[in-house]
Amino acid sequence: MPPEFTAHPPQREHRITLPDGRVLALGEYGAADGIPVIFFAGAASSRTMNVYGDAAAVRSVRLITFDRPGLGASSPDPAKSAQSVAADLDHALARIDVHSPVAFANSQGAAFGLATAARGIFSRIALVSPADELAHPGLSALLTADVATFVNRIATDERSMREVLSSFTAESMMNFVFSGAAPSDAEVFGDDDFRRLYRTALDEGFAQGGAGYAQDTIIASTPWRIPEQSVGDVRIWFGADDTSHSPDQGEQLAQRCSAMRRVVSGVGGALAWTHTAEILDDLLA
């Protein structure tokens, strides 16, 4: 069965005022009394990005999405870090009466998902096609020359890299992601509904400009400083054809987090949408 895409806005919206006066925007799909699953979207994507479809509906999932600070309708935070985003989300979930959720973190959402897991919020988290901690010393010898240069430039000249990353737009981000996709992802990334969903999420994500995306990319490309022994029950999923998110498809990341790791054949970075049912079954077991 082809993947299903819910290419419409969240069914319920929240604007949570944080203790410092900033606002965090959240969205929800599914029944309000369903099983809460927190979705961490990939780079520059707004709360409209989701994995809600029949697989989630039949499992009575209440999918909760959110805009990281500086993206979409969430206020910018000059001091944003993975840990500050985790604190923001922790506060917001308490305000909308969410207890003992599980989490589904995709691509660049992985660092933020793990930082939130370290607060003890989730009973289980799935990192699906996670963008790896490229600045970790254990990966340095495995990086391609281009990626190694990128990571080094962020470490040594963050200001100029912030300017470069801030120049991205919804159009350039979409082209960047699709140009690096595996042929096996064509069923998803070539689907008109998916492209409409993704473009909407990017248009919203870049509504305040590229600064929020630049912040997130710098956070994800520098040491995460997450106490891996405290992240709880972690599941890592990779498509066998995915060569862009991690140089070893999350093998070292899984070891550091004591995580279950599964590599799925016949798919690349589109795994979150081709295997939503299996991932949710594992999360909710």
pLDDT of residue 193: 92
> In angstroms, rounded to a whole number, what is the distance separating the alpha carbons of residues 178 and 234?
28
Mean pLDDT for all residues in the chain: 96
Compare 6 and 124 and report the one with higher pLDDT.
Answer: 124
> In angstroms, rounded to a whole number, what is the distance separating the alpha carbons of residues 115 and 278?
24
Strand order in the sheet with 61-66: 12-17, 23-29, 61-66, 35-40, 102-106, 125-128, 234-239, 260-264
Residue pair 10/47 in contact (Cβ under 8 Å)? The answer is yes
pLDDT of residue 1: 47
Give the type of residue at 126: A
Residue pair 44/206 in contact (Cβ under 8 Å)? The answer is yes
pLDDT of residue 174: 97
Query: What's the pLDDT tens digit per position in 188-206?
Result: 999 999 999 999 999 999 9
> In angstroms, rounded to a whole number, what is the distance separating the alpha carbons of residues 50 and 106?
10
> In angstroms, rounded to a whole number, what is the distance separating the alpha carbons of residues 123 and 284?
10
Is CATH 3.40.640.10 what the domain over 12-284 is classified as, yes or no?
no
SS3 192: helix
pLDDT of residue 228: 83
Is residue 2 over pLDDT 70?
no
pLDDT of residue 35: 97
